[in-house]
Each structure stands twice: as structure tokens, then as C-alpha cells.
A and B are shown apart, each in its own frame.
Chain A
Amino acid sequence: MILIVAEHAHGAARKSAFELVAAGRTLAAATGAPLAALVIGADASSVATELAGFVPDVHVVADPALEPMRSEMTTRAVVHAAEALGARVVLVPGSRSGQSYGPRVAMRLGGAYLEDVTDVSFEGTAVVAQRPTYLARVSAAVRTEAERVVVSVKLGAIAVAPLADTTGEVHRLDVPFSDDDRRLEPGPRQAAAKGRVALEEADVVVCGGRGFGSSEAFERHVVGLADRLGAGVGATRAVVDAGWRPYGEQIGQTGKAVAPSLYLALAVSGAVQHLSGMNRSRVIVAVNKDADAPIFKVADYGIVGDVLEVVPALEEALAGRD
């Protein structure tokens, strides 16, 4: 069987859950294997009901200590479910949390781990996948014959699944947690900017670079434009290092990887480490005063100019659009 781990926030499944449903359906259809979802959380019942519209069976592990996510508790729950249900493939999201428990689950199951893949399928009895390597400049084809395979799927890599026309069943799963699973004690959390679309889920991302010169200019132009477009706000490392924006907005090798329909790179030079976080975007726009900036090499549309002039002009053009 194919088991997907559906992550959620604020009582609703994350977009990644529906991306995994799509990947899981393809794998299940290829082998005739059943598809099930696993929902883990303090009170995951609303999420389970939501998922039941998409998969025939939803298994729920509920425990107050499961939120915030703890890697070892989640590992225990996923391993327990995978063994109890006899999963050949466990699909987890390529989120920070999925990448935290994914390798642990694979190791504990004595299986293989295919990490941060952009697609996954069966080839005979083998599980094969594509994954970015070398700062996302290369896509490697990987293959495993292992009996149990954990696959983390890159966020935004697969189109979300449509609703199924049947209603799935929800089952409770009791997991024997050990004290060791709780040995790390979660303390204060700092949330990334609230009220804005999650970067990895955004359909449009506006990213600003050091060329804005100040956090005030960044706020006015980048955040302003993003708000107009209902877009996520991204930043380069130079901007984060300067303290203008929080880490949570950084895009690139050590930040987030995004693949929106539209990515606007404003006063961003286009360093390799930055490109690795955005080169899967469908359409890329670059605005830079330096015509030789490397970002133009990956741009669909480019404007050579001063962002402090071009962005206000863009706002005006958008305002007059309809």
C-alpha cells in the first residue's frame, strides 16, 4: 500500500498534503495498491475529515504532545503506521519537518530514502524518482528496490489532486510512544510574518535583493507590490544578513525553495545559491540596473532599470490594468 503523511496547520491540511495525494494516486494506480493518508496532531479530526474527501482511508494519530511537531514522536507514529498497514511507499512532504523525520523513518524501517524528489513512479518493482542536486543545477535519476521506501516530495513540484467522488473512512491509530520520543522539550516559537501566504504555497513571489538599499525601501516597494498581487515576499541572503528581513523569507540554498507561476526578482544579482531556490519557477521577471547581472540569464522578461522607478511604475500599470 501507499501511505501519505498529510501535514496541516491551523486545523487545515497544507497544500503539500494534496500534492502527496496526487503523487500517491499515481503510484497506487500503477500497482493497484491501496492508498491511505496518515494525519498526526493534537486534534487532527477536522483535517482527517478534509482528507477523507480525497483518499479511501485516513488514519489518525492524536496526542496533545504531537504539537508542535516533534521529530521523534512523528517518526514513531509514521513507522508504526507503515508497519501496521504494510506500506511499501511512504510519501512525506519535503517541508522542514518532513525532511526531519523522513530520514529517521527510512532508517528505522530498514528501508531507502528518496529525498526531495520532483516526481516519483514505479519501474517494475523499483521505485524511481528525480531529484535536484548540485545546488539544483542538475536533476539526478535515483532508483531503489528496497522493500520499504520513504519518499519526500519537494514542495510545489506536483500539481494538487482534485477531490475524489467517494468519502473515505477515518480510523484511529494508537501509537505506543516512549519517553525518549519526548526527550527534546519545545520552548518559545517565533512565527514568520503572519497573515501572508506561505512562501512555498504562493502562486506569485516577489523577491527583493540588496539593491533596494534599506529596509524601508524594501518594505515600501517589495512588500507593497506583493500585497497588491496577493503574493509571498522573498528575500536574498544579502537582505537577510543586513537584518532587513527575517530568515523565514530567504530564498535559496540555505533558505526556501519555491516554484511559483510567477517570480519577480527585483534588484537581485542572481547568485548560484539564490538560483537554486527559484529556478523551477514557471515565469521569471528580473529588474536590475546592471544589464550583465546573471539573473537575466534565467529571466523570461527583463527590465534594465532602477527598481525605485520601475516598481512604482509597475504598481501604476497594475492599478490601471482593468
Chain B
Amino acid sequence: MKILTILKQVPDAESRVRVQHGSLDLTGATYVLDGMDEYGVEAALRVRESGVDAEIVAVGYGPAATDQAVRTALAMGADRAVLLEGDAFHDPLTVALALADVVREEAADLVFVGGKQADWDSAALGPALAEALGWAHVDWTTAFDLDGDAFEAVHDVDDGSETLRGRLPVVVTTQQGLNEPRYPTLPNIMKARRKTLDTRAADVGQDRMVVTGHAGTERERRRVMLDGDARSAAGELVRRLRDEAKVLREEGR
């Protein structure tokens, strides 16, 4: 069988993100393979290690520098990679359509997609890709087991978690808890350099939605520090929450 794992590169969480005059300033940011995508690579490797005969193809999309993220996946153990090179930003639905072409061309059975992107804060790519393929999807997945072409998955829902059973093909989106991604070892990093990376220009259509500006989200905060011992600080806090911020309801004891 063939497993695809979709990758993108995002600014490291510690990188500074600034907004100046309505545009985004990411100068000096370090880029890494999105942590949510890493869970997908690891999940694919574990399916293979459970005894399934599978080829694992890492599929990256984004600017040329995304080859770093793709190399990380190869060093973790993916067999080969495809990089759809294109602009840093596209509407997730547009990306999904371009990726669907690759999934069909590869005749994949199982696709892992990061549950939520750390740059666009989007959880849409997995469901959109499944829809473009006419496949089912499982989102926010915390456990995934395959037996032949039947799978059982546990995923997060609004009020807890749910088990889902189904058959391949399927798109699975990741969630924290799915696994602990392995670190690439030095020998594997060396080996990854010899693996095939097929770079091609992404064939994306017209974006259905465009970004027209940016703003920071930092709010004005009071930043009042309450001093004194625990008792007096706590007393002062309650008074201020009630009288100044007006967020304590009187009937709540």
C-alpha cells in the first residue's frame, strides 16, 4: 500500500511575529516542519512498523525552502518525497485541489495531514482534501490502528472523544497525543540525502479567498500587580474583579 504524508514549513513558535502597517513581518523567523505534520510522518512510519508493507511518500507544498521540512520527513524514515513549489500562501481549498491530483497520481490509500497549521491556524486542509478525493476523513485523531484495509481511530469531538471504524482509503488529520515523533538520527539524515525529492511547480488554481491585511491581536491589559501576603492580595483581587473589572456576578458565592 502507499501512504502519503502532507507537510508544510512554518515559523517556529518562538519566532517573533510582528505586524507593521498592516503587513506581516517575519524577519528573522526560523522555519521548521509543522509539529502537527510531524505527528503524521510518525503515524505513517508506525503503520509500516506494525508489519504493513507500505511505501511512504512525503508531500510538501510551499516555497522552495520547504525542502528542509521535506528532508526532515525523509530523515525520519519516509521513502521519497514530492515538493509542490509555490507561493507561501494559498487558500487551503486551493491547496487541497492541487494535493488531490498528487494523491490520485500516486494512487495512495492513506493520507496523513496535520490537524491544525501553526501559521494559518487552519484545520481545513484535511477535510477539504478528503472532499476533493471523495474520501472519508477522520479529524483530530489521537489513535489509529490498521488491520488489512480496515481501520479503527479515536478522535476528539466537541464533548470528548469518539471511536470511528472504516475502510481505506481515508484522510487522517493529526492531533497531539497521536504519538511522540522520533528524532532523525545522524545516519538517517545522511541516508535521506540520497533519497529522491521530486520538485515541481505547484499547479494551483485561483484562490477562492484572499488575505487583504493583518493586525496584531495584543490587547491593552491593565497589568496591575497586587502585592502583600496571600490574604491581602487575594482580598484586593476579589474587590477589583467585582468593583473595577465587574466580572464577578453577585449571586455567585
For B231, the closest partner residue in chain A by CB is: A313
**A309 vs B233: C-alpha distance when bound (angstroms):** 11
- Contact residues in B for A187 (Cβ distance below 8 Å): 152, 162-165
- Contact residues in B for A95 (Cβ distance below 8 Å): 158
Residues of A137-171 whose CB lies within 8 A of B = 137-144, 146
In the complex, the answer to whether A184 meets B164 with C-beta atoms within 8 Å is yes
- Please tell me which one of the listed residues B131, B245, B250 contacts residue A75 in the complex, with CB atoms under 8 A apart: B131
In the complex, the answer to whether A140 meets B209 with C-beta atoms within 8 Å is no
In the complex, the answer to whether A190 meets B116 with C-beta atoms within 8 Å is no
In the complex, the answer to whether B222 meets A300 with C-beta atoms within 8 Å is yes
**A279 vs B139: C-alpha distance when bound (angstroms):** 25
- Contact residues in A for B11 (Cβ distance below 8 Å): 134
In the complex, the answer to whether B124 meets A305 with C-beta atoms within 8 Å is no
**A137 vs B16: C-alpha distance when bound (angstroms):** 10
In the complex, the answer to whether A141 meets B211 with C-beta atoms within 8 Å is yes
Give the distance to chain A from B133, nearest Cβ to Cβ, in Å: 10
**A203 vs B88: C-alpha distance when bound (angstroms):** 38
A207-231 CB contact bits vs B (8 Å, 1 = yes)?
A: 0000000000000000000001110
In the complex, which range does the number of interface residues on chain A fall in?
35 or more
In the complex, the answer to whether A99 meets B123 with C-beta atoms within 8 Å is yes
In the complex, the answer to whether B250 meets A322 with C-beta atoms within 8 Å is yes
In the complex, the answer to whether A185 meets B215 with C-beta atoms within 8 Å is no
Does chain B have a CB within 8 A of A103?
yes
Main secondary structure on chain A at its contact with chain B? mixed
Whether A100 contacts B215 in the complex (CB less than 8 A), given A134-B11, A253-B118, comes out as no
In the complex, the answer to whether B162 meets A254 with C-beta atoms within 8 Å is no
**A143 vs B210: C-alpha distance when bound (angstroms):** 5
- Contact residues in B for A138 (Cβ distance below 8 Å): 17, 19, 24, 214-217
Q: Residue among A7, A186, A261, A321 with the most chain B CB within 10 A?
A: A321
In the complex, the answer to whether B17 meets A137 with C-beta atoms within 8 Å is yes
- Contact residues in A for B1 (Cβ distance below 8 Å): none
In the complex, the answer to whether A103 meets B124 with C-beta atoms within 8 Å is yes
- Please tell me which one of the listed residues B36, B162, B224, B233 contacts residue A300 in the complex, with CB atoms under 8 A apart: B224
- Contact residues in A for B165 (Cβ distance below 8 Å): 184-185, 187
In the complex, the answer to whether B217 meets A302 with C-beta atoms within 8 Å is no
In the complex, the answer to whether B219 meets A68 with C-beta atoms within 8 Å is no
- Contact residues in A for B221 (Cβ distance below 8 Å): 284, 297-300
In the complex, the answer to whether A99 meets B139 with C-beta atoms within 8 Å is yes
Does chain B have a CB within 8 A of A104?
yes
Give the distance to chain B from A104, nearest Cβ to Cβ, in Å: 4
Main secondary structure on chain B at its contact with chain A? mixed
Residues of B1-59 whose CB lies within 8 A of A = 11, 13-14, 17, 19, 24, 36
In the complex, the answer to whether A301 meets B224 with C-beta atoms within 8 Å is yes
Give the distance to chain B from A236, nearest Cβ to Cβ, in Å: 12
In the complex, the answer to whether A237 meets B252 with C-beta atoms within 8 Å is no
Whether A272 contacts B13 in the complex (CB less than 8 A), given A99-B124, A283-B245, A298-B221, comes out as yes
Q: Residue among A137, A228, A322 with the most chain B CB within 10 A?
A: A137
In the complex, the answer to whether B209 meets A142 with C-beta atoms within 8 Å is yes
**A108 vs B135: C-alpha distance when bound (angstroms):** 12
Whether A136 contacts B128 in the complex (CB less than 8 A), given A96-B139, A272-B13, A313-B230, comes out as no
- Contact residues in B for A299 (Cβ distance below 8 Å): 221, 223
Given contacts A253-B118, A298-B218, list 9 more A-B pairs with CB under 8 A. Answer: A100-B137, A104-B127, A135-B118, A229-B252, A271-B13, A283-B247, A303-B225, A312-B230, A319-B253
Listed by A's residue number, 15 A-B pairs whose Cβ atoms lie within 8 Å are A99-B123, A99-B124, A103-B93, A107-B96, A136-B217, A189-B157, A192-B159, A192-B160, A247-B161, A254-B36, A283-B241, A300-B221, A303-B233, A309-B230, A314-B237
The 9 closest A-B pairs by CB, nearest first: A187-B163, A313-B234, A112-B208, A103-B124, A300-B222, A254-B176, A107-B131, A103-B128, A309-B230
Q: Which chain B residues have a beta carbon within 8 Å of chain A's beta carbons?
A: 11, 13-14, 17, 19, 24, 36, 91-93, 96, 115-116, 118-125, 127-128, 130-132, 136-140, 142, 152, 156-167, 175-177, 208-219, 221-226, 230-231, 233-235, 237-238, 240-242, 245, 247-248, 250, 252-253
Q: Which chain A residues have a beta carbon within 8 Å of chain B's beta carbons?
A: 7, 9, 68-69, 71-72, 75, 95-97, 99-104, 106-108, 111-116, 128, 130-144, 146, 180, 183-192, 198, 204, 228-230, 237, 246-248, 253-254, 261-262, 271-273, 276, 279-280, 282-285, 296-306, 309-310, 312-314, 316-319, 321-322
